[in-house]
Amino acid sequence: MKRVQLLTYAEIITLILPVSTFLSIYVARSFSFRMIIICNVLILSGLLFIVFWTFFIKHKIKLLLLLISLSFISLLYAAYRNIEPPLPYEREVSVRLKLTSEPRVRKYSVQYTARLLEIDKTHAVFEPRVLFNVAIPGNKLERGYVVDVKGLFMELPFEKSESYAWYLRSRGIKAVFEGYSRGVEVFSKPVQYSPVSVSNRLKRYVGKVNERLLFFPQSEFATALLTGNRDNIPREVMDAFRRSGTVHILAVSGLHVGFISLFLYLILRMLRVPQTVNYLAVACVIVFYMIFIGEAPSVRRASLMFLCGIAVFLFDRDRNYINILAIAFTILWVVNPLIIMNPGFLLSFAATFGILFLVPHFNPWMKRFMPAFVASSVSATLGVQIYILPVMLSFFGSFPYINILANLPIVPLTGFALALEIISLMVYPIFLPLAVVISEVTLAVITLILRIATLCARVPPLTAVRFPPILIPLYFIAVTVLFLILFQRLEKREKDYE
């Protein structure tokens, strides 16, 4: 795709989609405050300013028509996806569900995300996603199981917890199904060698090996680092990571996908595998890892970006990584427009965009004052923090600024711990003594990570009473415009100086 000055068409589309989604939410009267109208007008004005400021004059009329058409189409689609399916609420029914997530143990029940296949032996239209709660059943249920169960459909709990209800909607969940534990019957299980079945067995293997080789809670940290399952990590440990602003290392993202891809790529290259075959093998592993992790927005974003990057290399296209990020954003938005209300999705894309957009400009300036490695780490951390600030304040009410310092040692240590974890899992069934030695090093590295996070968690964060979510895209656009103007002026000054 030919780039015209600063924005491509894919990037313009990603600026339109959030606005359309927020407008569709307002049309459905899901928000009560009137400022949403003013904010959307400001956002649209900002979009027009960016487009007109970055393109040549001769493209303005054609681009304006394209902008209006895309806005209208995306608004209609977002409004259509925002419609609630007709479900028999608060009436006992028999349903067939396909479990699409790992079980999450609550105080008195087990929770799954599931696809609704049938209601009273009638096929469900569009197979909506529901949150399935059931008292701990006698037989253990896993991801991929299809079960028949009796229970009640409940509406999302907007009255009890509006933020939690919006979080469920952002994951594409349409309702809550409270099942009776005595009525759960397994209809079918995944095929033995299907990707889901293999993923379930691999997760059990990872947890078993870590329990045998590592102490608690380091064993649960190592398991979460590779699988993304943080349910068994003690609450005080998770609180330390949240207060220090380093909980992102436990959310499987580009760091994990990138390391696994690089690890496989180097092994195949040492074996002198042809380049094309190497890329295709890496793509297959990325797809399997995305299935292995499940529904995490961060791993989907990272996996789609890596797959697009592999396609760029295979077809010898221009390597515009912000454009690749925009394509990944568009794909995930098409699957579920309300995902832009998901904090994990926003944090993942905001952090990645901050790295791609700001680091190339920050890094040369930082290298004047510090070593290259430190300059790269500081530039990446600053780029991330600038763009995740409104998301943190809006969804969590605080911004742990200490993470600017905490991420400098924790991120590389996490990459090292992840490498040791993968090597240990590979060596364990072959040569146990070597796996034990590697696990001792892993234990020391994870312990150091936990101590740094605990120390940084003592610093009080920046707090905010209220930061409406509708202001997030407005903040993104305003900051991006500000830096675009600043970078252009700096480049002009350097050219004049030369």
- Mean pLDDT for the chain? 79
Whether this model's pTM surpasses 0.75:
yes
Of 68-72, 106-110, 301-305, 310-314, the least confident: 68-72
Q: In the prediction, which pLDDT does 253 show? A: 72
User: Is the model more confident about 467 or about 102?
Assistant: 102
Q: What is the pLDDT of residues 416-434, one digit of tens each?
A: 888 888 889 889 988 888 9
SS3 103: coil
Res 57 pLDDT > 50: no
Tokens of 443: 């234990």
| DSSP-assigned beta bridge partners for residue 146 | 98, 188
CATH number for 93-188 (one of 2.40.50, 2.60.40, 1.10.760, 2.60.120): it is 2.40.50
Q: In the prediction, which pLDDT does 33 show? A: 47
CB contact at 8 A, 395 and 163: yes
Q: In the prediction, which pLDDT does 9 show? A: 65
Res 310 pLDDT > 80: yes
- Using pLDDT thresholds of 50, 70 and 90, give the confidence band for residue 494: low
Give the separation between CA 236 and CA 91, rounded to whole angstroms: 40
Give the separation between CA 327 and CA 8, rounded to whole angstroms: 11
Q: In Å, how far are 126, 230, 339, 411, 450 from 249, measured between CA atoms? A: 35, 11, 21, 7, 12
CB contact at 8 A, 231 and 223: no
Instruction: List the domain boundaries for the chain.
Output: 9-83, 93-188, 199-488
Q: Which of 204, 99, 191, 96 is nearest to 143 (CA)?
A: 99
Q: What is the pLDDT of residues 404-418, one digit of tens each?
A: 788 888 888 888 888
Cβ neighbors of 482 (< 8 A, separation 6 or more) are none
- What letter represents residue 142's amino acid? E
Q: In Å, how far are 170, 352, 392 from 333, measured between CA atoms? A: 11, 16, 21
End-to-end CA separation in angstroms for the chain:
31
Res 468 pLDDT > 50: yes
Tokens of 370: 């510090």
Q: What is the pLDDT of residues 128-184, one digit of tens each?
A: 888 888 876 656 788 888 888 888 888 888 777 777 887 888 888 888 888 886 778
Give the separation between CA 363 and CA 371, rounded to whole angstroms: 11
CA dihedral 251, 256, 257, 261 (to 10 degrees): -170
Compute CA 33 distance to the chain's CA centroid, rounded to the nearest angstrom.
Answer: 28
